[in-house]
């Protein structure tokens, strides 16, 4: 099939949505240069699609230990097929913007594809973060395309002060909506809507329990949240260690009403809409086509998110105040990245709070899906496994437990910050039903054969969740190798999760436990310190093809733990090279967020 000259295919693989945001922004960059841009998740296209576009841009956000995101695994399998001839992608010109490790795409070069500009790998640890890296790289991309592939004769790039046509518009639905007779004042509930979201491959879960594990006086609220999930179409949910349950939070009615009033949407918020009249809709919009604008806002619009620069730019188009417009545009400029960071990122201002400050901005309701980010599901590692997944009384139900640290903190702003999903789960009544999805582990380390390999599990904080699931699963196998748990947190009295379980496992001879509570003594102790102290003990699992798992919320911790295991094993040994070979084949499994 012939290549369309001014087309760009932008493919993303994303777990948290960061890569999708970047891909959408790149689509707008190309659109301003009069390229027809198509933005898709990787699994939504086959390899032939690459051959049909002038350029292909990959935006990949790898996870944990460099694994490809779930929505790119099918594409990756297609790319790895052995029957693909070496030069089958020789006509493909591509580049990549990686959020993490994008070495997977080296396979493209093996199949003949070539890069048209240098690829880039961004990292949150960079001085100006992913945002700053993206701004500079996208400017390089624009300059290259403009210089080597200028717009057709007579056309100039669409300037930044001109808003692009909406990719997703509610215009048709709003124009054909029925006016509600009389003055309608909705009765606002205190809690988010209880309706089930129509999520593909979703499971209906009922909240069975929501127990706080940390003391009421403790600064952090950590919950053990339990869901009961019945069979779906006769199939029982099967969970393995490392799997995730994805929860889709909703907004609170009072906050949604605040947005509606602020934008001047009161007269149309409760009109019946038919979304089937819309030309196109976002793929991850989970709502019944027969709905209202209010229901879209409650269930799908993430107005509690920190505004991206692209959102602030969209705001500027609809401001009637010149000073507001100028300030909003400054936040989007490269030279003002520091000010944007201070205003939005460091302070953790929400979109709603920004709209409350820039009162001259009235965003049109028909563009709500085009301008606002959509609520994304939050992944939680499943914290139980083996027979602990069985419901106490009903064999048709899977009991899933999550170890959740509710996100509450303060910034320079007066109002305390709270995560959308944290607030949703904190206030969800026991007995409530919601739609969840199940995400299988990418690199399995469970099963009877793996149970016969020694386990060294290293966890901090709520990183204990997948470790607990794995230990539960291993205990179901009669033949299993020794297990060692290294756990670190702040205080033993407040943060030692599931201590009764671990004490019992130690008494039964099933587990060795090593604890590091950093705040319980004057000299701070971390898990990596314990690993170095136990270097001799760890030689056995290393030499016996053991499995090493590291789980927690810090890449620095994971790196320090790896050095604490690897360095003592090889340093100063007479057979250094042999030991390095052993380490090169060691199973090192990470779940870091």
Annotated binding-site positions for FAD: 348, 378-381, 419-422, 588
Can you tell me the distance from the alpha carbon of 513 to that of 486, in angstroms, rounded to the nearest whole number? 6
Query: Over the range 219-238, which residues count as b (16 or more CB within 10 Å of their CB) and which as e?
Result: ebbbbbbbbbbeeeeeeebe
Can you tell me the distance from the alpha carbon of 340 to that of 139, in angstroms, rounded to the nearest whole number? 18
**DSSP character string of 90-149:** TT-EEEEEEES--GGGHHHHHTT-EESS--EEE-TTSTTHHHHHHHHHHHHHHHHHHHHS
Give the distance between the most distant pair of CA atoms in the chain: 88
* Bridge partners, residue 410, by sequence: none
Q: Are 314 and 163 in contact (CB under 8 A)?
A: yes
Can you tell me the distance from the alpha carbon of 237 to that of 215, in angstroms, rounded to the nearest whole number? 33
* Token couple for 48: 């032939």
Tokens 């920190």 belong to 306
Q: Are 435 and 204 in contact (CB under 8 A)?
A: yes
**3-class SS of residue 64:** coil
Can you tell me the distance from the alpha carbon of 20 to that of 477, in angstroms, rounded to the nearest whole number? 41
Q: How many CB atoms within 10 Å of residue 249?
A: 22
What DSSP character marks residue 575?
T
What DSSP character marks residue 276?
G
Nearest partner of 303 among 267, 269, 262, 336, judged by Cα: 262
Can you tell me the distance from the alpha carbon of 373 to that of 193, in angstroms, rounded to the nearest whole number? 19
Can you tell me the distance from the alpha carbon of 256 to that of 311, in angstroms, rounded to the nearest whole number? 18
The alpha carbons of the chain give a radius of gyration, in whole angstroms, of 26
Q: Are 324 and 360 in contact (CB under 8 A)?
A: yes
Q: What are the angstrom distances between the C-alpha of 520 and each of 173, 237, 458, 516?
A: 60, 41, 19, 9
- Per the annotation, binding residues for FMN are 14-19, 61-64, 124
List, edge to edge, every strand of the sheet that includes 378-381. Answer: 378-381, 244-247, 433-439, 203-212, 222-230, 397-405
- Give the distance, in angstroms, between the CA of residue 361 and the centroid of all CA atoms in the same chain: 30
- Per the annotation, binding residues are 14-19, 61-64, 124, 348, 378-381, 419-422, 462, 518-519, 524-528, 588
- Per the annotation, binding residues for NADP(+) are 462, 518-519, 524-528
Can you tell me the distance from the alpha carbon of 482 to that of 512, in angstroms, rounded to the nearest whole number? 8
**3-class SS of residue 286:** coil
CA dihedral angle for residue 45, residue 51, residue 52, residue 55, rounded to 10 degrees: 90
Q: Are 355 and 318 in contact (CB under 8 A)?
A: no
Can you tell me the distance from the alpha carbon of 171 to that of 123, in angstroms, rounded to the nearest whole number? 38
């Amino acid at each position: 099939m012939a290549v369309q000259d001014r087309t760009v295919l932008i493919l993303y693989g994303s777990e948290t949505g960061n890569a999708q945001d970047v891909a959408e922004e790149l689509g707008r960059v190309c659109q301003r240069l009069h390229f027809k841009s198509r933005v898709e998740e990787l699994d939504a296209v086959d390899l032939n699609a690459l051959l049909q576009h002038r350029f292909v841009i990959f935006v990949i956000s790898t996870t944990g230990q460099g694994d490809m995101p779930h929505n790119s695994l099918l594409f990756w399998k297609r790319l790895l097929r052995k029957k693909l001839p070496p030069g089958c992608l020789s006509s493909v010109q591509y580049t990549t913007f990686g959020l993490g490790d994008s070495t997977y795409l080296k396979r493209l070069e093996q199949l003949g594809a070539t890069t048209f500009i240098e690829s880039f790998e961004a990292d949150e640890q960079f001085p100006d973060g992913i945002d700053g890296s993206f701004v500079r790289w996208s400017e390089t991309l624009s300059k290259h395309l403009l210089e080597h592939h200028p717009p057709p004769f007579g056309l100039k790039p669409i300037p930044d002060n001109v808003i692009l046509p909406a990719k997703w518009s509610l215009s048709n639905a709003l124009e054909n909506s029925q006016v509600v007779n009389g003055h309608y004042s909705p009765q606002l509930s205190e809690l988010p809507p209880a309706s089930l979201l129509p999520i593909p491959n979703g499971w209906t879960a009922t909240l069975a329990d929501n127990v706080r594990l940390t003391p009421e006086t403790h600064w952090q609220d950590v919950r053990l949240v339990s869901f009961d999930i019945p069979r779906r179409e006769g199939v029982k949910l099967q969970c393995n260690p490392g799997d995730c349950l994805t929860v889709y939070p909703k907004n609170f009615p009072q906050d949604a009403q605040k947005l509606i009033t602020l934008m001047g949407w009161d007269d149309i918020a409760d009109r019946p809409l038919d979304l089937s009249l819309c030309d196109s809709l976002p793929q991850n919009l989970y709502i019944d086509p027969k709905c209202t604008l209010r229901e879209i806002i409650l269930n799908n619009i993430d107005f509690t998110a920190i505004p991206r620069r692209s959102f602030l730019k969209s705001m500027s188009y609809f401001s009637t105040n010149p000073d507001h417009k100028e300030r909003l545009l400054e936040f989007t400029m490269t030279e003002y990245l520091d000010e944007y960071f201070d205003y939005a990122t460091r302070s953790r201002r929400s979109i709603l709070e920004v709209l409350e400050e820039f009162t001259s901005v009235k965003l049109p309701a028909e563009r709500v899906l085009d301008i606002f980010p959509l609520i994304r599901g939050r992944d939680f590692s499943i914290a139980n496994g083996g027979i602990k997944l069985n419901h106490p009384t009903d064999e048709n139900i899977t009991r899933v437990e999550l170890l959740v640290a509710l996100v509450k903190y303060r910034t320079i702003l007066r109002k305390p910050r709270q995560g959308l999903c944290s607030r949703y789960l904190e206030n969800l009544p026991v007995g409530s039903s919601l739609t969840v999805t199940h995400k299988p582990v990418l690199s399995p380390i469970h099963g009877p054969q793996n149970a016969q390999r020694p386990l060294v599990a290293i966890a901090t904080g709520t990183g204990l969740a997948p470790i607990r699931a794995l230990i539960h699963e291993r205990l179901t196998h009669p033949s299993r190798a020794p297990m060692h748990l290294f756990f670190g947190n702040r205080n033993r009295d407040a943060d030692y999760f599931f201590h009764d379980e671990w004490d019992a496992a130690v008494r039964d001879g099933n587990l060795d436990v090593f604890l590091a509570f950093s705040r319980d003594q004057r000299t701070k102790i971390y898990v990596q310190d314990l690993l170095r102290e136990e270097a001799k003990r760890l030689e056995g699992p290393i030499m016996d093809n053991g499995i090493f798992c590291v789980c927690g919320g810090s890449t620095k911790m994971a790196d320090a733990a790896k050095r604490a295991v690897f360095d003592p094993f090889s340093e100063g040994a007479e057979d250094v090279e042999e030991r390095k070979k052993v380490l090169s084949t060691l199973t090192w499994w990470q779940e870091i967020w």
